[in-house]
Amino acid sequence: MSEAYVHGYEPHESERLQTQAGTLVDLLHRDTRYPPGSRVLEAGCGVGAQTVTLARQSPDAWFTSIDISAESVAAARRATDAAGLANVEFQQADLFALPFAPESFDHVFVCFVLEHLARPVEALAILRDLLKPGGTLTVIEGDHGSAYFHPDSAAAHQAIQAQAELQRCAGGNVLIGRQLHPLMVAAGLDRVQVSPRMVYVDGSRPDLIDGFTRKTFTAMIEGVRESAIAGGVIEADAFDAGIRALHRTAEDDGVFCYTFFKGVGQKR
């Protein structure tokens, strides 16, 4: 987590991440429940978008949620406080220099973190070492190459590519979702099972049009406008045409598809 972060830290960005979590909670997290008394590390909690769901779904498990940004940790703490959750403690920490002894946790949870790391296998191996034998590591990541839509649009793909390029320059990888299985196996995890979680949005699903196509995916791409243009990754006109094309897919006769990947592996 030493790399620069591509998504913003601004208030509206925090709102976007919360909206995203709200729309996707069931799809991504419904099958993550930890037993009473278990100790769970959430590595890279960000503003707590997933923390609230995790802690609420496993009220008798104990969560330690860390993030490299003290500001994010503070926002995450406010989010769990507002939700009345007492089973989470927070700590500012770097994933590559964690203040925990080996085998400190029963389970580890990582969501939307590997996409920002230049050394994802190393990060996974560090987290594996923190697990007790038999403990599980759960990883959730998106994959921008899984984004396709109707009407198809070269301009939209170019705008998405601009975001991907920024993230790549910061050491990240927006195509990481599809790679979870080989990455987790390479990190020495056992019994790795990956399941795709596809978001499919058409005119019959107005909640997802608004909550996912517009306020999650398109908003994420839109959020890098200034840095992409300033960084010379794309021209302003081309970027704006791409954003318009993404909004076009949110009309009644449009369709938008995106897939998240969830992997669970075990420490031997």
Contacting positions for its own copies (CB under 8 A) = 143, 145-146, 148-150, 152, 175, 178-179, 181-182, 185-186, 192-196, 198, 200, 202-204, 253-255, 257, 259
Nearest-approach distance from CB 140 to its own copies, in angstroms: 15
Distances (CA, A) of 245 to 101, 171, 211: 49, 28, 17
Nearest CB to its own copies, comparing residues 17 and 208: 208
Nearest to 242 by CA among 144, 162, 145, 150: 162
Instruction: Return the sign of the alpha-carbon dihedral for residues 100, 117, 1, 8.
Output: negative
The CB density around residue 119, as the number of other CB atoms within 10 Å, is 14
SS3 of 180-229: the string is HHHHHHHCCCEEEEEEEEEEEECCCCHHHHHHHHHHHHHHHHHCCHHHHH
Q: Which is nearer to its own copies, 76 or 174 (CB)?
A: 174
CB closer to its own copies, 58 vs 213: 213
Cβ proximity to its own copies: between 142 and 223 the closer is 142
99 prior amide bond cis, ω within 30 = no
What is the Cα–Cα distance from 55 to 15, expressed in whole angstroms?
20
CB 2 within 8 A of CB 68: yes
Task: Give the DSSP H/E element, type plus range, for residue 165.
Answer: helix 154-169
d(CA 185, CA 99): 25
Which run of H or of E encompasses 258? strand 255-266
DSSP-based three-state secondary structure for 260: strand
